[in-house]
Amino acid sequence: MNLPVVGITTLVRGRLLSFITEPESADDRASYYYEDDGGLLVRDGIIEAVGDFKQVSASAGEDVEVIDHRPHLIMPGFIDAHAHMPQMQVIASYGAELLDWLNNYTFPAETEFSNAEHARRIAGHFLDTLVAHGTTTVAAYCSVHPASAEALFQAAMLREMRIVAGKVMMDRNAPGGLRDTPKSSYEDTKALIERWHGRGRLSYAITPRFAITSSPAQMEVAGALASEFPELHIQTHLSENRIEIDLANELYPDCGDYFGVYERYNLAGPKSLFGHAIHLSEREADAMSDSGSVAVFCPTSNLFLGSGLFDYQRYRKRGKPVRIATATDVGGGTNYSMLRTMDEGYKVIALSGEKLNPLAAFWQITLGNAKALSFERQIGALQRGHEADLVVLNARATPAMSIRAEKIETLAEELFLLQTLGDDRSVVETYLAGKAMKGKAVRD
Question: Measuring CA to CA, how many Å separate 78 from each of 137, 229, 414, 432?
Answer: 7, 27, 17, 11
Residue 240 contacts which entry, ligand GUN, Zn ion, none (Cβ below 5-8 A, type-dependent): ligand GUN
Residue 38 contacts which entry, ligand GUN, Zn ion, none (Cβ below 5-8 A, type-dependent): none
**Nearest residue (CB) to Zn ion, 48 versus 110:** 110
Question: H helices of 197-327, where?
Answer: 216-228, 242-251, 258-264, 282-291, 299-304, 312-317
**Nearest residue (CB) to Zn ion, 61 versus 306:** 306
Helix (H, G, I), strand (E, B) or coil at 106: helix
In angstroms, what is the minimal distance from the CB of 43 to Zn ion?
37
Residue 14 contacts which entry, ligand GUN, Zn ion, none (Cβ below 5-8 A, type-dependent): none
Residue nearest to Zn ion (CB): 275
Residue 422 contacts which entry, ligand GUN, Zn ion, none (Cβ below 5-8 A, type-dependent): none
Q: Check if the beta carbon of residue 132 is closer than 8 Å to that of residue 52.
A: no
Residue 434 contacts which entry, Zn ion, ligand GUN, none (Cβ below 5-8 A, type-dependent): none
CA angle at 79 for the pair 336 and 398, rounded to the nearest 5°:
50
**Nearest residue (CB) to ligand GUN, 73 versus 85:** 85
Q: Which of these, 39, 22, 38, 42, lies nearest to 30 by C-alpha position? A: 22
In angstroms, what is the minimal distance from the CB of 82 to Zn ion?
6
Within 13 Å, how many C-alpha atoms sit on residue 95's CB side? 2
In angstroms, what is the minimal distance from the CB of 212 to ligand GUN?
7
In angstroms, what is the minimal distance from the CB of 169 to ligand GUN?
12
In angstroms, what is the minimal distance from the CB of 173 to ligand GUN?
10
Residue 209 contacts which entry, ligand GUN, Zn ion, none (Cβ below 5-8 A, type-dependent): ligand GUN
Residue 201 contacts which entry, ligand GUN, Zn ion, none (Cβ below 5-8 A, type-dependent): none
**Which residues face 297 on adjacent strands?**
326
In angstroms, what is the minimal distance from the CB of 21 to Zn ion?
29
Alpha carbons 20 and 17: distance in angstroms, whole number? 10
Residue 106 contacts which entry, Zn ion, ligand GUN, none (Cβ below 5-8 A, type-dependent): ligand GUN
Q: Check if the beta carbon of residue 143 is closer than 8 Å to that of residue 119.
A: yes
Residue 210 contacts which entry, Zn ion, ligand GUN, none (Cβ below 5-8 A, type-dependent): ligand GUN
| DSSP-derived secondary structure letter, 204 | E
Residue 105 contacts which entry, Zn ion, ligand GUN, none (Cβ below 5-8 A, type-dependent): none
**Nearest residue (CB) to ligand GUN, 235 versus 419:** 235
In angstroms, what is the minimal distance from the CB of 87 to Zn ion?
8
**Nearest residue (CB) to ligand GUN, 212 versus 287:** 212
**Nearest residue (CB) to ligand GUN, 93 versus 313:** 93
**Nearest residue (CB) to Zn ion, 329 versus 414:** 329
| DSSP-derived secondary structure letter, 339 | H
Q: Which of these, 242, 170, 231, 221, lies nearest to 198 by C-alpha position? A: 231
- Residues at the contact surface with ligand GUN, assessed by CB under 6 A: 84, 98, 102, 106, 209-210, 237, 240, 301, 329, 332
In angstroms, what is the minimal distance from the CB of 211 to ligand GUN?
9
User: Percent helix, strand and coil across the chain, each rounded to 5?
Assistant: 40, 25, 35
In angstroms, what is the minimal distance from the CB of 236 to ligand GUN?
8
In angstroms, what is the minimal distance from the CB of 344 to Zn ion?
16
Please, is 25 exposed, middle or buried when counting C-beta atoms within 10 Å of its C-beta (0-12, 13-18, 19+)? exposed
Q: Check if the beta carbon of residue 42 is closer than 8 Å to that of residue 377.
A: no
Residue 233 contacts which entry, ligand GUN, Zn ion, none (Cβ below 5-8 A, type-dependent): none
In angstroms, what is the minimal distance from the CB of 322 to ligand GUN?
19
Cα dihedral: 195, 199, 201, 203 (round 10): 30
- Residues at the contact surface with Zn ion, assessed by CB under 5 A: 275, 329
Q: Which of these, 418, 414, 417, 440, lies nearest to 427 by C-alpha position? A: 418
**Type of residue found at 232:** L
Provide CB contacts within 8 A for 34, sequence distance 6+: 15, 16, 17, 411
**Nearest residue (CB) to Zn ion, 263 versus 329:** 329
**Nearest residue (CB) to ligand GUN, 60 versus 169:** 169
433 φ, ψ (degrees, to nearest 5)? 45, 45
Residue nearest to ligand GUN (CB): 332
**Nearest residue (CB) to ligand GUN, 98 versus 397:** 98
Provide CB contacts within 8 A for 363, sequence distance 6+: 19, 21, 22, 23, 31, 32
**Nearest residue (CB) to Zn ion, 85 versus 417:** 85
CA angle at 48 for the pair 50 and 15, rounded to the nearest 5°:
25
